[in-house]
Amino acid sequence: MTASKAPAGRGRLSIVAAALVVARRDFVAILFSRSFVFFLIGPLFPLLVAVMASGVGQKVQESTAHATLGVAMAPPDGQAMLAAARKLNPQLGAALPDLVVIAEPGADERFNPADALRDRQANLNAVLSGTPAHPVLTGPAGQIQAWQGPVALIAAEALGHGPQVFPPVALAATAANSADARVGRMRTAQAGQTLLFLLTMLLAGMVLSNLVEEKANKIIEILAAAIPMDAVFLGKLVAMLAISFVGIAVWGLTIGGAALAGGRSLGELATPAVGWPLFIALGVAYFAMAYLLLGSIFLTIGSMAATVREVQTLSMPVTMVQLLVYFFASYAVAAPHSLVEQIAVAFPLSSPFAMLARAAQEGNVVQHLLALAWQAFWVGLCVRMGARLFRRRVMQSGPAKVRSRKAKPKPA
């Protein structure tokens, strides 16, 4: 009685299912290892030092450079306001800006407070015009609202009313022009690109060390005998991407808490064109694409290397190329929709950086869906090519074929 044969095609996992098995195995093994804990702690020290130094520097700057309020009043009124400010300085302290007489409205009929604010040499935060009885504050909305109370006290002291009667302070907020908004969004785009580059380069190297270790332990050969090599590569990439998100979450919560404690917030950057929630979501998606693209290249390099030294030698050119790609994408930010910027969007390695910059500068969302699809296509292509290269160079087993040679007849 012969044993029945198993149906063909059964007993072997599909590529997606096998990739999930490999991803779950690598994720659990790395997450609960001691080396990963030290890897998480390592970057926190310089980042915390940078945040603390930034907070100390901001405090020093605030204590050494007070905000300046330009006074554009008639000479008697201007001198009365300056004298009242000096008298109230011990009581108001940091809430009181430095008052500087900048113009006499009677001497220059063309004087405009908004023009005085745009003068970089004057370096004014706001302008106080009118009279002590009817003062007018011109400047950014948040700034003049914070100074409305102190200016009312100064004007009441200048009029000799004391703290009993406060003259009304009119507010004239200046709206940010389109050029200022464009520069602010460009800074947000550059900050997003820099953060994306640092995270990608910091975390992508884990793929190499893991692959080289498993090649040395012959684990790769065991996996390749059970599941397709494409699934091994894809599973390792997914596991490392998940580990990277864990690291980013830990670092983000730690550094974000330290930044909030130091008085820093996203409000210091201009709001991106798509809004902060969507910009952060696109940043996560573009980080995933950039990581998978670079990780697939590193996996291919790891398949050609047998030792850690060879890995370092082969990965150095890729790291330098990635640095050039970052500079290329940063250069393209200054020229939206130019030929250089379109090349940066189309080139797979620079596409995540260029598209994240577009998210900060433009509100069109459909282009990001197309870009993510384009980047996902290149991720799949790089994984397939890397898997085939690994199979051809490493997985071949057995003795080399020796060509048979016919015995040559001996000369007579």
pLDDT in tens, 329-366: 989 888 888 899 999 999 999 999 999 999 998 888 99
For residues 343 and 196, state if they share a domain. Answer: yes
pLDDT band for 371, please (50, 70, 90 cuts). very high
Strand-pairing partners, residue 103, are: 72
171 and 222 fall within a common domain: no
Q: Rounded to an integer, what distance in angstroms lies between the CA atom of residue 118 and that of residue 138?
A: 12
Taking CA atoms, 5 is separated from 13, 151, 226, in Å, by 18, 93, 19
Instruction: Determine the structural domain holding residue 322 and report its residue range.
Output: 179-393
Q: How far apart are CA 239 and CA 156, in angstroms?
A: 67
Query: Is residue 231 located within the same domain as residue 110?
Result: no
Place of tokens 């007018």: 136
User: Percent of the chain having pLDDT more than 90?
Assistant: 18
197 plus 284 within the same structural domain? yes
Same domain, 316 and 360: yes
pLDDT at 11: 54
Same-domain check for residues 144 and 189: no
Domain tally, the chain: 2
State the average pLDDT over residues 280-305: 87
Element containing residue 102 per DSSP (H, E): strand 98-103
Whether 404 has a pLDDT exceeding 60, the answer reads no
Query: What pLDDT score was predicted for residue 339?
Result: 92
Domain identity same for 270 and 309: yes
**One domain, residues 294 and 146:** no
Question: Same domain for 85 and 217?
Answer: no
Q: Tens of pLDDT along 128-142?
A: 888 888 899 888 876
| Token duo for residue 113 | 């407070």
